[in-house]
Structure 1
Protein backbone atom coordinates (compact mmCIF):
# COMPACT_ATOMS: atom_id res chain seq x y z
CA UNK A 1 0.00 0.00 0.00
CA UNK A 2 1.33 3.45 -0.89
CA UNK A 3 2.17 6.08 1.72
CA UNK A 4 1.69 9.85 1.77
CA UNK A 5 3.53 12.42 3.89
CA UNK A 6 1.24 15.24 4.98
CA UNK A 7 2.06 18.49 6.75
CA UNK A 8 -0.14 19.34 9.74
CA UNK A 9 0.02 23.06 8.91
CA UNK A 10 -1.35 22.40 5.43
CA UNK A 11 -3.92 19.92 6.77
CA UNK A 12 -5.09 21.34 10.13
CA UNK A 13 -7.85 18.76 10.40
CA UNK A 14 -5.04 16.32 11.29
CA UNK A 15 -4.11 18.28 14.44
CA UNK A 16 -5.92 16.09 17.02
CA UNK A 17 -4.52 12.88 15.52
CA UNK A 18 -1.01 14.33 15.29
CA UNK A 19 -1.02 15.52 18.91
CA UNK A 20 -2.20 12.15 20.17
CA UNK A 21 0.22 10.21 17.95
CA UNK A 22 3.42 12.06 18.88
CA UNK A 23 2.44 12.21 22.57
CA UNK A 24 1.83 8.47 22.77
CA UNK A 25 4.92 7.48 20.79
CA UNK A 26 7.31 9.74 22.70
CA UNK A 27 5.67 9.74 26.15
CA UNK A 28 5.40 13.53 26.28
CA UNK A 29 2.43 15.39 27.77
CA UNK A 30 -0.21 16.04 25.10
CA UNK A 31 -0.46 19.66 26.23
CA UNK A 32 3.08 20.33 25.03
CA UNK A 33 2.48 18.95 21.55
CA UNK A 34 -0.97 20.55 21.32
CA UNK A 35 0.29 24.02 22.24
CA UNK A 36 3.24 23.75 19.87
CA UNK A 37 1.27 22.37 16.91
CA UNK A 38 -1.73 24.65 17.38
CA UNK A 39 0.42 27.77 17.13
CA UNK A 40 2.38 26.27 14.23
CA UNK A 41 -0.81 26.42 12.13
CA UNK A 42 -0.95 30.21 12.04
CA UNK A 43 2.52 31.53 12.87
CA UNK A 44 4.31 33.70 10.33
CA UNK A 45 7.57 31.99 11.32
CA UNK A 46 8.83 29.08 9.20
CA UNK A 47 9.03 26.84 12.28
CA UNK A 48 7.81 24.67 13.89
CA UNK A 49 6.37 22.19 11.37
CA UNK A 50 5.07 18.66 11.87
CA UNK A 51 4.46 15.88 9.35
CA UNK A 52 2.63 12.57 9.33
CA UNK A 53 3.20 9.56 7.12
CA UNK A 54 -0.20 8.13 6.20
CA UNK A 55 -1.11 4.71 4.84
CA UNK A 56 -4.72 5.20 3.78
CA UNK A 57 -6.25 6.75 6.93
CA UNK A 58 -3.70 5.26 9.33
CA UNK A 59 -0.68 7.12 10.71
CA UNK A 60 2.43 4.96 10.43
CA UNK A 61 5.12 7.55 11.18
CA UNK A 62 6.07 11.17 11.44
CA UNK A 63 8.62 13.82 12.34
CA UNK A 64 8.91 17.51 13.14
CA UNK A 65 11.10 20.48 12.23
CA UNK A 66 11.86 22.70 15.22
CA UNK A 67 14.36 25.36 16.28
CA UNK A 68 15.96 23.26 19.04
CA UNK A 69 15.53 19.70 20.31
CA UNK A 70 16.22 20.45 24.01
CA UNK A 71 19.96 20.30 23.32
CA UNK A 72 22.86 22.63 24.18
CA UNK A 73 23.81 23.33 20.55
CA UNK A 74 21.40 26.22 20.11
CA UNK A 75 23.72 27.71 17.50
CA UNK A 76 22.55 24.99 15.10
CA UNK A 77 19.05 24.99 13.61
CA UNK A 78 16.60 23.77 12.49
CA UNK A 79 16.43 20.30 14.03
CA UNK A 80 14.57 17.30 12.69
CA UNK A 81 12.86 15.79 15.73
CA UNK A 82 10.48 13.02 16.81
CA UNK A 83 11.29 10.77 13.85
CA UNK A 84 9.20 7.62 14.23
CA UNK A 85 8.08 4.65 12.13
CA UNK A 86 5.69 2.03 13.47
CA UNK A 87 7.66 -1.08 14.43
CA UNK A 88 5.87 -3.46 12.06
CA UNK A 89 6.59 -1.11 9.13
CA UNK A 90 10.30 -0.77 9.78
CA UNK A 91 12.81 -2.25 7.37
CA UNK A 92 11.06 -0.77 4.33
CA UNK A 93 13.12 2.44 4.15
CA UNK A 94 10.16 4.52 5.26
CA UNK A 95 12.42 6.28 7.74
CA UNK A 96 14.66 7.23 4.82
CA UNK A 97 11.61 8.68 3.06
CA UNK A 98 10.83 10.83 6.09
CA UNK A 99 14.44 11.99 6.38
CA UNK A 100 14.50 13.02 2.72
CA UNK A 101 11.17 14.76 3.05
CA UNK A 102 12.53 16.68 6.03
CA UNK A 103 15.55 17.82 4.03
CA UNK A 104 13.30 18.94 1.17
CA UNK A 105 10.94 20.80 3.47
CA UNK A 106 13.80 22.53 5.30
CA UNK A 107 15.25 23.52 1.93
CA UNK A 108 11.93 24.94 0.77
CA UNK A 109 11.81 27.02 3.97
CA UNK A 110 15.15 28.60 3.09
CA UNK A 111 17.54 26.62 5.30
CA UNK A 112 20.86 25.29 3.97
CA UNK A 113 21.51 22.73 6.73
CA UNK A 114 19.36 20.46 8.87
CA UNK A 115 20.39 18.90 12.20
CA UNK A 116 19.28 16.13 14.53
CA UNK A 117 20.41 14.67 17.83
CA UNK A 118 20.36 10.94 18.55
CA UNK A 119 21.97 8.05 20.37
CA UNK A 120 21.77 5.78 17.31
CA UNK A 121 24.92 4.67 15.51
CA UNK A 122 25.44 3.78 11.83
CA UNK A 123 21.91 4.65 10.73
CA UNK A 124 21.87 8.26 9.64
CA UNK A 125 25.23 7.93 7.90
CA UNK A 126 23.53 5.70 5.32
CA UNK A 127 21.33 8.64 4.25
CA UNK A 128 23.95 11.38 3.83
CA UNK A 129 23.98 12.67 7.40
CA UNK A 130 27.33 13.58 8.98
CA UNK A 131 28.28 13.21 12.66
CA UNK A 132 29.64 16.64 13.69
CA UNK A 133 29.84 16.50 17.49
CA UNK A 134 27.81 16.07 20.61
CA UNK A 135 25.30 18.05 22.67
CA UNK A 136 23.97 18.02 26.22
CA UNK A 137 20.35 17.82 27.37
CA UNK A 138 18.79 19.30 30.56
CA UNK A 139 18.25 15.70 31.73
CA UNK A 140 22.03 15.17 31.71
CA UNK A 141 21.95 12.90 28.67
CA UNK A 142 24.48 13.32 25.89
CA UNK A 143 23.49 13.01 22.22
CA UNK A 144 25.39 12.82 18.97
CA UNK A 145 24.69 15.73 16.63
CA UNK A 146 24.24 15.02 12.93
CA UNK A 147 24.12 17.45 10.03
CA UNK A 148 22.74 17.11 6.50
CA UNK A 149 22.49 19.44 3.54
CA UNK A 150 18.94 20.40 2.74
CA UNK A 151 17.58 19.57 -0.70
CA UNK A 152 16.85 22.59 -2.85
CA UNK A 153 15.77 21.57 -6.30
CA UNK A 154 14.64 24.10 -8.85
CA UNK A 155 11.79 21.73 -9.52
CA UNK A 156 11.12 19.20 -6.81
CA UNK A 157 7.99 17.10 -6.80
CA UNK A 158 5.09 19.44 -7.61
CA UNK A 159 7.34 22.49 -7.19
CA UNK A 160 6.31 23.60 -10.66
CA UNK A 161 2.79 23.61 -9.30
CA UNK A 162 2.02 27.05 -7.89
CA UNK A 163 -0.92 28.35 -5.89
CA UNK A 164 -2.26 31.74 -6.93
CA UNK A 165 -5.14 33.55 -5.24
CA UNK A 166 -6.89 36.41 -7.02
CA UNK A 167 -10.26 38.11 -7.26
CA UNK A 168 -12.95 36.65 -9.52
CA UNK A 169 -12.81 37.78 -13.15
CA UNK A 170 -15.35 37.86 -16.00
CA UNK A 171 -14.21 34.52 -17.43
CA UNK A 172 -14.57 32.60 -14.14
CA UNK A 173 -18.32 31.79 -13.83
CA UNK A 174 -18.31 29.36 -16.76
CA UNK A 175 -15.11 27.57 -15.75
CA UNK A 176 -16.11 27.31 -12.07
CA UNK A 177 -19.54 25.88 -12.90
CA UNK A 178 -17.99 23.37 -15.28
CA UNK A 179 -15.38 22.28 -12.72
CA UNK A 180 -18.05 21.50 -10.12
CA UNK A 181 -20.23 19.78 -12.72
CA UNK A 182 -17.33 17.41 -13.43
CA UNK A 183 -17.27 16.69 -9.69
CA UNK A 184 -20.99 15.90 -9.75
CA UNK A 185 -22.12 19.12 -8.06
CA UNK A 186 -24.74 21.47 -9.44
CA UNK A 187 -23.27 24.99 -9.27
CA UNK A 188 -25.02 27.10 -11.93
CA UNK A 189 -23.20 29.76 -13.91
CA UNK A 190 -25.78 32.32 -12.77
CA UNK A 191 -24.61 31.97 -9.15
CA UNK A 192 -21.10 33.11 -10.00
CA UNK A 193 -22.34 35.80 -12.36
CA UNK A 194 -24.26 37.21 -9.38
CA UNK A 195 -21.12 37.01 -7.23
CA UNK A 196 -19.22 38.90 -9.92
CA UNK A 197 -21.85 41.63 -10.11
CA UNK A 198 -21.94 42.00 -6.31
CA UNK A 199 -18.15 42.24 -6.30
CA UNK A 200 -18.34 45.07 -8.83
CA UNK A 201 -20.79 46.87 -6.53
CA UNK A 202 -18.44 46.43 -3.56
CA UNK A 203 -20.79 44.11 -1.69
CA UNK A 204 -18.48 41.09 -1.66
CA UNK A 205 -14.96 39.96 -2.52
CA UNK A 206 -14.89 36.65 -4.40
CA UNK A 207 -11.47 35.00 -4.16
CA UNK A 208 -10.36 32.36 -6.66
CA UNK A 209 -7.58 29.82 -6.02
CA UNK A 210 -5.68 28.46 -9.01
CA UNK A 211 -3.29 25.51 -8.80
CA UNK A 212 -0.79 25.74 -11.63
CA UNK A 213 -3.24 27.91 -13.56
CA UNK A 214 -6.20 25.56 -13.04
CA UNK A 215 -9.25 26.53 -10.95
CA UNK A 216 -9.06 24.77 -7.57
CA UNK A 217 -11.47 26.52 -5.21
CA UNK A 218 -12.94 29.78 -3.98
CA UNK A 219 -14.18 31.70 -0.97
CA UNK A 220 -16.17 34.90 -0.51
CA UNK A 221 -16.11 37.81 1.90
CA UNK A 222 -19.57 39.31 2.40
CA UNK A 223 -19.44 42.82 3.81
CA UNK A 224 -23.14 42.68 4.72
CA UNK A 225 -23.89 39.16 5.88
CA UNK A 226 -27.17 37.40 5.08
CA UNK A 227 -27.14 36.35 8.75
CA UNK A 228 -29.03 39.02 10.67
CA UNK A 229 -26.87 38.95 13.80
CA UNK A 230 -23.66 39.54 11.84
CA UNK A 231 -25.35 42.21 9.73
CA UNK A 232 -26.60 44.10 12.78
CA UNK A 233 -23.15 44.01 14.39
CA UNK A 234 -21.29 44.92 11.20
CA UNK A 235 -19.39 41.62 11.18
CA UNK A 236 -18.21 40.59 7.68
CA UNK A 237 -18.82 36.95 6.83
CA UNK A 238 -16.55 34.35 5.21
CA UNK A 239 -19.10 32.77 2.89
CA UNK A 240 -19.53 29.94 0.37
CA UNK A 241 -16.12 28.32 0.79
CA UNK A 242 -15.33 25.42 -1.54
CA UNK A 243 -12.24 23.54 -2.71
CA UNK A 244 -12.57 20.94 -5.45
CA UNK A 245 -12.16 17.42 -4.07
CA UNK A 246 -9.18 16.62 -6.31
CA UNK A 247 -7.28 19.62 -4.93
CA UNK A 248 -7.90 19.01 -1.23
CA UNK A 249 -5.18 18.24 1.33
CA UNK A 250 -2.75 20.65 -0.34
CA UNK A 251 -3.27 23.59 2.01
CA UNK A 252 -5.40 25.47 -0.52
CA UNK A 253 -8.33 25.90 1.87
CA UNK A 254 -6.08 27.31 4.59
CA UNK A 255 -4.53 29.78 2.17
CA UNK A 256 -7.95 30.93 0.99
CA UNK A 257 -9.02 31.43 4.60
CA UNK A 258 -5.79 33.32 5.34
CA UNK A 259 -6.48 35.74 2.48
CA UNK A 260 -10.14 36.19 3.37
CA UNK A 261 -9.22 37.06 6.97
CA UNK A 262 -6.54 39.49 5.77
CA UNK A 263 -9.15 41.32 3.72
CA UNK A 264 -11.65 41.41 6.58
CA UNK A 265 -8.99 42.64 9.01
CA UNK A 266 -8.67 45.84 6.97
CA UNK A 267 -12.22 46.81 8.00
CA UNK A 268 -13.17 44.74 11.04
CA UNK A 269 -11.61 43.22 14.15
CA UNK A 270 -14.05 40.30 13.94
CA UNK A 271 -14.80 37.77 11.19
CA UNK A 272 -17.86 35.54 11.07
CA UNK A 273 -18.61 32.25 9.36
CA UNK A 274 -21.43 29.71 9.21
CA UNK A 275 -21.07 25.95 9.06
CA UNK A 276 -23.48 23.10 8.43
CA UNK A 277 -24.27 20.51 11.08
CA UNK A 278 -24.05 17.14 9.33
CA UNK A 279 -21.04 14.97 8.50
CA UNK A 280 -20.32 16.52 5.10
CA UNK A 281 -19.23 19.62 7.03
CA UNK A 282 -17.02 17.70 9.46
CA UNK A 283 -13.69 18.86 8.03
CA UNK A 284 -14.92 22.45 7.88
CA UNK A 285 -16.12 22.29 11.50
CA UNK A 286 -12.69 21.15 12.68
CA UNK A 287 -10.85 23.66 10.49
CA UNK A 288 -12.82 26.64 11.78
CA UNK A 289 -12.40 25.68 15.43
CA UNK A 290 -8.67 25.12 14.95
CA UNK A 291 -8.39 28.56 13.33
CA UNK A 292 -9.93 30.13 16.43
CA UNK A 293 -13.60 30.47 15.51
CA UNK A 294 -16.09 30.00 18.35
CA UNK A 295 -19.91 29.75 18.29
CA UNK A 296 -21.70 33.08 18.59
CA UNK A 297 -23.87 31.62 21.36
CA UNK A 298 -27.19 32.10 19.60
CA UNK A 299 -27.80 28.47 18.67
CA UNK A 300 -28.85 26.80 15.44
CA UNK A 301 -30.20 28.98 12.63
CA UNK A 302 -32.38 27.71 9.79
CA UNK A 303 -31.89 30.60 7.39
CA UNK A 304 -34.84 32.55 8.76
CA UNK A 305 -34.85 32.10 12.54
CA UNK A 306 -33.23 30.24 15.42
CA UNK A 307 -34.39 26.69 16.17
CA UNK A 308 -36.07 26.49 19.56
CA UNK A 309 -36.18 23.80 22.20
CA UNK A 310 -38.33 20.82 21.20
CA UNK A 311 -38.60 21.83 17.54
CA UNK A 312 -38.10 19.26 14.79
CA UNK A 313 -36.17 20.31 11.70
CA UNK A 314 -34.88 18.55 8.62
CA UNK A 315 -31.11 18.87 8.55
CA UNK A 316 -29.97 20.30 5.23
CA UNK A 317 -27.51 22.91 3.97
CA UNK A 318 -29.63 25.75 5.38
CA UNK A 319 -29.34 24.55 9.00
CA UNK A 320 -26.19 26.16 10.36
CA UNK A 321 -24.23 27.22 13.40
CA UNK A 322 -22.54 30.62 13.17
CA UNK A 323 -19.13 31.35 14.62
CA UNK A 324 -16.88 34.38 15.09
CA UNK A 325 -13.16 35.00 15.41
CA UNK A 326 -11.30 38.04 16.68
CA UNK A 327 -8.62 39.10 14.22
CA UNK A 328 -6.86 41.66 16.44
CA UNK A 329 -5.10 39.13 18.70
Structure 2
Protein backbone atom coordinates (compact mmCIF):
# COMPACT_ATOMS: atom_id res chain seq x y z
CA UNK A 1 0.00 0.00 0.00
CA UNK A 2 1.15 3.52 -0.72
CA UNK A 3 -0.26 6.74 0.72
CA UNK A 4 -0.17 9.73 -1.60
CA UNK A 5 -1.00 13.41 -1.27
CA UNK A 6 -3.75 14.15 -3.78
CA UNK A 7 -1.76 17.20 -4.95
CA UNK A 8 1.05 14.87 -6.05
CA UNK A 9 -1.17 12.74 -8.29
CA UNK A 10 -3.12 15.23 -10.44
CA UNK A 11 -4.01 12.46 -12.88
CA UNK A 12 -6.02 10.80 -10.06
CA UNK A 13 -7.61 14.01 -8.71
CA UNK A 14 -11.11 13.18 -9.98
CA UNK A 15 -10.89 9.65 -8.58
CA UNK A 16 -9.79 11.04 -5.20
CA UNK A 17 -12.56 13.64 -5.28
CA UNK A 18 -15.14 10.95 -5.96
CA UNK A 19 -13.85 8.87 -3.05
CA UNK A 20 -13.81 11.75 -0.54
CA UNK A 21 -17.11 13.26 -1.66
CA UNK A 22 -18.74 9.88 -2.23
CA UNK A 23 -18.31 8.91 1.40
CA UNK A 24 -18.24 12.24 3.27
CA UNK A 25 -20.26 14.52 1.03
CA UNK A 26 -23.90 15.17 0.31
CA UNK A 27 -25.84 15.56 -2.91
CA UNK A 28 -25.18 19.29 -3.39
CA UNK A 29 -21.75 19.84 -1.85
CA UNK A 30 -19.39 18.27 -4.37
CA UNK A 31 -18.04 21.75 -5.34
CA UNK A 32 -17.13 22.27 -1.66
CA UNK A 33 -14.96 19.14 -1.67
CA UNK A 34 -13.52 19.95 -5.07
CA UNK A 35 -12.36 23.43 -4.02
CA UNK A 36 -11.06 22.21 -0.66
CA UNK A 37 -8.94 19.60 -2.37
CA UNK A 38 -7.91 21.75 -5.33
CA UNK A 39 -6.66 24.63 -3.18
CA UNK A 40 -4.99 22.52 -0.49
CA UNK A 41 -1.48 22.89 0.94
CA UNK A 42 -1.59 26.42 2.34
CA UNK A 43 1.38 28.30 3.82
CA UNK A 44 1.45 26.07 6.92
CA UNK A 45 1.12 22.88 4.86
CA UNK A 46 -2.56 22.32 5.54
CA UNK A 47 -5.15 21.47 4.48
CA UNK A 48 -3.87 18.30 2.86
CA UNK A 49 -5.76 15.35 1.42
CA UNK A 50 -4.35 11.84 1.14
CA UNK A 51 -5.41 8.57 -0.44
CA UNK A 52 -4.33 5.00 0.20
CA UNK A 53 -3.64 3.07 -2.98
CA UNK A 54 -3.39 -0.69 -3.37
CA UNK A 55 -2.61 -2.14 -6.80
CA UNK A 56 -3.71 1.11 -8.45
CA UNK A 57 -7.05 1.23 -6.62
CA UNK A 58 -7.90 4.08 -4.24
CA UNK A 59 -9.04 2.31 -1.09
CA UNK A 60 -8.95 4.92 1.69
CA UNK A 61 -8.73 8.58 2.61
CA UNK A 62 -7.75 11.05 5.26
CA UNK A 63 -7.19 14.78 5.51
CA UNK A 64 -5.33 17.22 7.72
CA UNK A 65 -7.51 20.30 8.22
CA UNK A 66 -7.49 23.59 10.08
CA UNK A 67 -10.97 22.81 11.38
CA UNK A 68 -13.21 19.77 11.00
CA UNK A 69 -16.36 21.94 10.86
CA UNK A 70 -16.63 21.98 14.63
CA UNK A 71 -16.77 24.48 17.47
CA UNK A 72 -13.11 24.15 18.54
CA UNK A 73 -11.43 26.60 16.19
CA UNK A 74 -8.69 27.09 18.77
CA UNK A 75 -7.38 23.57 18.12
CA UNK A 76 -5.60 22.48 14.95
CA UNK A 77 -4.64 20.68 12.86
CA UNK A 78 -7.41 18.12 12.72
CA UNK A 79 -7.04 14.61 11.39
CA UNK A 80 -10.28 14.08 9.46
CA UNK A 81 -12.06 12.14 6.72
CA UNK A 82 -10.63 8.76 7.72
CA UNK A 83 -12.30 6.22 5.46
CA UNK A 84 -11.46 2.75 4.17
CA UNK A 85 -13.63 0.98 1.61
CA UNK A 86 -15.61 -1.88 3.15
CA UNK A 87 -13.81 -4.62 1.23
CA UNK A 88 -10.44 -3.42 2.57
CA UNK A 89 -11.35 -3.08 6.24
CA UNK A 90 -9.69 -5.21 8.90
CA UNK A 91 -6.29 -5.04 7.17
CA UNK A 92 -4.72 -2.24 9.23
CA UNK A 93 -5.20 0.40 6.54
CA UNK A 94 -6.99 2.85 8.84
CA UNK A 95 -4.24 2.56 11.45
CA UNK A 96 -1.59 3.12 8.75
CA UNK A 97 -3.43 6.19 7.47
CA UNK A 98 -3.66 7.53 11.00
CA UNK A 99 0.05 7.00 11.65
CA UNK A 100 0.88 8.60 8.31
CA UNK A 101 -1.14 11.67 9.30
CA UNK A 102 0.70 11.90 12.59
CA UNK A 103 4.07 11.81 10.83
CA UNK A 104 3.03 14.39 8.23
CA UNK A 105 1.65 16.76 10.89
CA UNK A 106 4.85 16.40 12.91
CA UNK A 107 6.97 17.04 9.81
CA UNK A 108 5.02 20.28 9.30
CA UNK A 109 6.04 21.41 12.79
CA UNK A 110 2.83 20.71 14.66
CA UNK A 111 3.18 19.43 18.23
CA UNK A 112 -0.35 18.05 18.68
CA UNK A 113 -2.91 16.56 16.31
CA UNK A 114 -6.65 16.42 17.01
CA UNK A 115 -9.58 14.40 15.75
CA UNK A 116 -13.23 14.11 16.57
CA UNK A 117 -15.11 10.85 16.82
CA UNK A 118 -17.62 8.93 18.88
CA UNK A 119 -15.96 5.62 18.04
CA UNK A 120 -14.90 3.87 21.25
CA UNK A 121 -11.64 1.97 21.61
CA UNK A 122 -10.00 2.37 18.19
CA UNK A 123 -8.10 5.60 18.69
CA UNK A 124 -7.18 4.80 22.29
CA UNK A 125 -5.41 1.63 21.11
CA UNK A 126 -3.25 3.82 18.89
CA UNK A 127 -2.19 6.20 21.66
CA UNK A 128 -4.81 8.92 21.29
CA UNK A 129 -6.23 10.52 24.44
CA UNK A 130 -9.84 11.64 24.80
CA UNK A 131 -9.84 15.29 25.82
CA UNK A 132 -13.21 17.04 25.66
CA UNK A 133 -16.26 17.52 23.50
CA UNK A 134 -16.87 19.53 20.35
CA UNK A 135 -20.09 20.51 18.60
CA UNK A 136 -21.02 20.82 14.95
CA UNK A 137 -23.31 23.50 13.46
CA UNK A 138 -26.26 21.10 13.64
CA UNK A 139 -26.10 20.56 17.41
CA UNK A 140 -24.36 17.18 17.38
CA UNK A 141 -21.44 16.49 19.67
CA UNK A 142 -18.31 14.37 19.32
CA UNK A 143 -15.43 13.46 21.56
CA UNK A 144 -12.14 15.23 20.93
CA UNK A 145 -9.07 13.05 20.77
CA UNK A 146 -5.53 14.39 20.78
CA UNK A 147 -2.12 12.96 20.06
CA UNK A 148 1.07 14.64 21.24
CA UNK A 149 3.34 14.32 18.23
CA UNK A 150 6.62 14.66 20.07
CA UNK A 151 6.06 11.09 21.23
CA UNK A 152 6.16 9.72 17.68
CA UNK A 153 9.34 7.89 16.84
TM-score, normalised with respect to structure 1: 0.44
Distance 2:150 2:103 in 1: 5
Deviation at 1:71, TM superposition (A): 0.9
Distance 1:151 1:53 in 2: 25
Find out whether 1:24 has 2:43 as its counterpart: no
Q: Pairwise CA RMSD of aligned residues?
A: 1.6
Deviation at 1:19, TM superposition (A): 1.0
Is the Cα–Cα contact under 8 Å of residues 117 and 142 in structure 2 kept in the other structure?
yes
Deviation at 1:151, TM superposition (A): 5.8
Secondary structure at the aligned position of 1:147 is classed as strand
Query: Which segments of structure 1 move beyond 3 Å, counting only runs of 4 or more?
Result: none
Distance 2:150 2:86 in 1: 27
Aligned partner of 1:36 in structure 2 is: 36
What pairs with 1:68-87 in structure 2 (closer than 5 Å)? 68-87=67-86
Distance 2:6 2:150 in 1: 21
Unaligned runs of 5+ in 1: 157-329
Secondary structure at the aligned position of 2:100 is classed as helix
What pairs with 1:1-329 in structure 2 (closer than 5 Å)? 3-28=1-26, 29-40=29-40, 43-150=42-149
Looking at CA atoms only, which structure, 1 or 2, has the larger radius of gyration?
1
Is the Cα–Cα contact under 8 Å of residues 60 and 82 in structure 2 kept in the other structure?
yes
Is the Cα–Cα contact under 8 Å of residues 129 and 145 in structure 2 kept in the other structure?
yes
Instruction: State the structure with bigger RCO (CA 8 A, min sep 6), 1 or 2.
Output: 2
Deviation at 1:152, TM superposition (A): 7.8
Secondary structure at the aligned position of 1:103 is classed as helix
Secondary structure at the aligned position of 1:9 is classed as helix
TM-score, normalised with respect to structure 2: 0.92
